[in-house]
Amino acid sequence: MDRKPPAAYFDHAAAAPLLPEALEAMRPFFTDHFGNPQSIHRFGIEPARALEEARARVASLIGESSTARIVFTASATESNNLAVKGIARSLAAKGNHIVVSAVEHASVMSPARTLEREGFEVTEVRVDKYGTVHPGELEKSFHPGTVLAAVQHASNEIGTVQPLAELAAACRRHGVLLHSDGTAAVGRIPVDVGALGVDSYAFPAQSFYGPKGAAALWLRSGVRPRSLVEGGIQEKGRRAGTENVPAIVGMGRAAEIAALNLAAWSAHMARLGGRLLAALPERVEHIILTGHPEHRLPGHVSLCVEFVEGESMLLFLEDEGFAVASGSACTSKTLKASPVLLAIGLPHSVAQSSLMLTLGKDTTEAEVDRFLEKLPPIVERLRSMSPLYAKYQRGEDPYATPESSCEGGH
């Protein structure tokens, strides 16, 4: 028998439902307007026009008036790769040192390690217990050969919003360019790249209910990364290949709608997220809320439930109709704890007990109420089978034994 779809979707950080208006905007570009936007005949006119209209809408969502600074890509991962590798390589004659925060997404960390293998020096900047990068810590990592730093706008895993404008100011004082991954921020909080002072900024359509397969990289004037994809003149030579016009059109329409509704969406998510953050410690003992208590994304709830594995909670919650995520990668065959949770100082055993709830604009009070009702008995049942909890009840240190096969890192 097929499983019923989740009754409550609390995993918007992984994927968000597509806006109906975005889908309708996309339809003609699969059928009637199928031409290549680079073609000069009549079949290329409407796709080319739609492409630039979408570029303007996407730029406007992040406070940018110039469409020339938006490069369309296929994902935020591609945008981050283009920024980190492309900018660093373009500045190699000036210096070969780059800096990344310890809580960056793998799409920033992995390109940094690739550059390291090419001969670049990479410094990982530590964060505090909330996952915050402090400007002073960032500045201490710079030296005369530093050309690029990368700090996310907000954490998709623990919800912390970074003091990005202060970090950008610190970078400017040392002549260092700053790239930021805005995947978790766009569509949840207002973004103005000019006010933030960053030099490049990546984000995908799905962050604001647009289609997968479309994303953007904003570049400050004068920032010219080396292209990763060569062989065409598209995107002014910065990203070759025929554009995914339907997806980009959908991204533009979603950006337009998000710009009009962001304040209401954010307030709604903040209210429901605040309810969960306040009620969960009262309903479940021995939980650790992760991320900054104040400077965090609206509707983002992250926690560790001590003495219980995250994977087990996910499965039990799925049976109750809840789609949630775990910050721990122990749900995979690699059995590795989340690097982000380790970076904020949690031991492996606790990091493996994480839950991450990312609410959306359509999340309801009733869904939140039902989650608060269903989670405590699930935790109680799992703890009744937990050797760690048994140790705790006997008055022993549950984390005193050597760690199991989980290891940190990527």
Please write the tens of the pLDDT for every residue from 3-41: 565 689 999 999 999 999 999 999 999 999 999 999 999
Q: Please pick, among 171, 304, 330, 406, the residue that the annotation labels catalytic.
A: 330
Both 171 and 268 in one domain: the answer is no
Domain of residue 269 covers 263-393
Active site residue 330: yes
Is residue 400 domain-resident? no
Token reading at 351: 């990091």
pLDDT of the residue at 349 = 87
Q: Is the pLDDT of residue 368 over 60?
A: yes
The one-letter amino acid at 49: R
Both 252 and 280 in one domain: the answer is no
Both 152 and 199 in one domain: the answer is yes
CA distance 368 to 275: 8
The residues facing 166 across adjacent strands are none
| Rounded mean pLDDT, 80-85 | 98
Of 217, 239, 258, the domain-final residue: 258
| Rounded mean pLDDT, 154-164 | 97
Token reading at 67: 């469409």
Give the CATH number, domain containing residue 348.
3.90.1150.10
CA distance 210 to 119: 38
pTM of full prediction above 0.85:
yes
Of 239, 258, 277, the domain-final residue: 258
Per DSSP, the three-state class of 149 is strand
Both 217 and 273 in one domain: the answer is no
Both 131 and 163 in one domain: the answer is yes
Both 125 and 240 in one domain: the answer is yes
Both 252 and 339 in one domain: the answer is no
Both 252 and 308 in one domain: the answer is no
Both 306 and 209 in one domain: the answer is no
pLDDT of the residue at 380 = 95
pLDDT of the residue at 4 = 66
Number of domain units in the chain = 2
| Rounded mean pLDDT, 349-363 | 95
Q: Is 300 left (phi over 0), alpha (psi -120 to 50) or beta?
A: beta
Is residue 1 domain-resident? no
Contact predicate 74/242, CB 8 Å = no
CA distance 366 to 8: 10
Both 190 and 59 in one domain: the answer is yes
Q: Is the pLDDT of residue 362 over 70?
A: yes
Is residue 10 domain-resident? no
DSSP assignment string, 202-232: EEEGGGGT--TT-EEEEE-TT--PPPSS-SS
Per DSSP, the three-state class of 242 is coil
Give the CATH number, domain containing residue 58.
3.40.640.10
Is residue 408 domain-resident? no
The one-letter amino acid at 278: A
Both 248 and 228 in one domain: the answer is yes
Q: Is the pLDDT of residue 306 over 80?
A: yes
Beta strands 200-204 and 177-181 are parallel
Higher-pLDDT residue of 232, 196 = 196
Report the candidate in 152, 163, 178 with the shortest Cα–Cα distance to residue 76: 152
Both 275 and 245 in one domain: the answer is no
Is residue 9 domain-resident? no
Is residue 403 domain-resident? no
